[in-house]
Structure 1
Amino acid sequence: MEISIPPEPERYALESQVRECFGRCAYTHKTHEKMAERGARRQRIMKWCQIVLSALTAGGAIGVVFDRNSVVFPYATAVLSISLLIINSYVKDLDPGKDAQLHREAASDIWNIREAYLSLLTDIRDPGCPTVQLRQRRDDLQALLHKIYRSAPHTDGKAYGQAQDALQHREDLTFSDAEIDAFLPGPLKRKAAGTC
């Protein structure tokens, strides 16, 4: 029978706080990923709309040149040109591609902090790591995270909801031992080592 030694109250409190920080980082990272996906999708749609409207406008202009008696080509070309102008004016002030890139960069930076919090949680369980050192690492991570948050673009509730669904229901952040074993060479697999 395995005897469980209760953690020191000081370490337990530190671990609890770091767990909270890790959870917040996981959600923020995933939310920025969802914002990046939406920005990239919005950019693709806008670019395709511009291409299609440009092609139709050019086709209408060619139709006007070759069929001067048609009433449809001039009006259709005018409507298409105005539609293209509206989309181009809208896209001029918005840059969904740039926004997506900023969210990708923020997610990447936050991912690194999230992984550092995970390593810190592992080290907290090691009785050989001094609590003072663990607290210093926590404080350093908090300072780094603050710098990232200050320059990161804002997210919205929709992206947070998508992140929540991905983390809670689709388990985007977790792997089973079998999934991890599939990536590792034989000697590093848990099933091969018999510890699973």
Structure 2
Amino acid sequence: MNDTNYRNQLKNQIKDAYGKVTYTYTAHHKLADRLENKNRRVKNMQIALSAFSSCGFFASIITNKSALAWLSGTFSVLSLFLNIYTKEYKIQDEINQHRNAANALWDIRESYISLLTDYDILENDDIRHQRDVLCKKVSEVNNNYPATDSKSYRAAQKALKKDEEQTFKEGEIDSILPNRIG
């Protein structure tokens, strides 16, 4: 194999790794967003169940209707179950883990972009070394943080392909730079 073919294969491998990191980075963000929405719904449900059980309890005392006491008791039991669920399942911790993974992957993603930018002026040994370092960093992130799920991957796929979340259109970057720079 000649040097040109090898360099093309090496560049394609780096592009592929960049793409995988970008997908994983985006999937971690999508999963964290989904968990934040779930956490918000659970907290709102806790407040609503507490309010219904309290109001029902006081209404049953005032009106002396046993049906309101039963209804209040039902809301109270549901509130207890939801509180037990949230005590055991630390949603905020999981959200933070996925945000931290995304932050670590962002740095790696930017390093891949830099490697691709410098590619033509680097020697093969330097490229391989940087590639290997980046692969180890990705491996560390994958080993130290929770994985994403298929729903998050599909959301990342839509965000990257259809919504073009990680890309800029022609001239878009210039339009957001301060006038003295752009």
Q: Distance in 1 between matches of 2:102 and 2:68?
A: 48
Cα-to-partner distance string for 1:47-71 (whole Å, 9 max, x where unaligned): 000011111111112123323x212
Cα-to-partner distance string for 1:43-93 (whole Å, 9 max, x where unaligned): 0000000011111111112123323x2122211111111111121122222
May I ask how many residue pairs the two structures share in their alignment?
180
Give the TM-score of the pair, scaled to structure 2.
0.93
Counterpart among 35, 46, 49 of residue 53 in structure 1: 49
Q: Distance in 2 between matches of 1:95 and 1:43?
A: 9
Q: Distance in 1 between matches of 2:174 and 2:19?
A: 25
Long gaps (5+) in structure 2: none
Counterpart among 117, 122, 132 of residue 122 in structure 1: 117
Q: Shift of the alpha carbon at 1:139? A: 0.8
Paired residues of 1:57 and 1:81 also in contact (CA < 8 A): yes
1:28 corresponds in structure 2 to 24
* Matches for 1:77-116 after TM superposition, within 5 Å: 77-116=72-111
Deviates more, 1:32-41 or 1:89-98: 89-98
Give the TM-score of the pair, scaled to structure 1.
0.87
User: Counterpart amino acid of 1:58?
Assistant: S
Dislocated runs of 4+, deviation >3 Å: 185-189
Q: Distance in 2 between matches of 1:8 and 1:14?
A: 10
* Matches for 1:1-196 after TM superposition, within 5 Å: 8-67=4-63, 69-126=64-121, 129-186=122-179, 188-189=181-182
Q: Distance in 2 between matches of 1:173 and 1:70?
A: 59
Q: Distance in 2 between matches of 1:13 and 1:177?
A: 28
Q: Distance in 2 between matches of 1:149 and 1:160?
A: 15
Cα-to-partner distance string for 1:97-125 (whole Å, 9 max, x where unaligned): 21111101101101110111111011113
Q: Distance in 1 between matches of 2:7 and 2:178?
A: 35
Long gaps (5+) in structure 1: 1-6, 190-196
Q: Secondary structure at the match of 2:15?
A: helix
Richer in helix (by share): 2
Aligned-residue Cα RMSD (Å) equals 1.4
Q: Shift of the alpha carbon at 1:143? A: 1.0
Deviates more, 1:26-35 or 1:172-181: 172-181
Q: Shift of the alpha carbon at 1:144? A: 1.1
1:192 corresponds in structure 2 to none
Paired residues of 1:11 and 1:124 also in contact (CA < 8 A): no
Paired residues of 1:60 and 1:76 also in contact (CA < 8 A): yes
Q: Which has the larger radius of gyration?
A: 1
1:3 corresponds in structure 2 to none
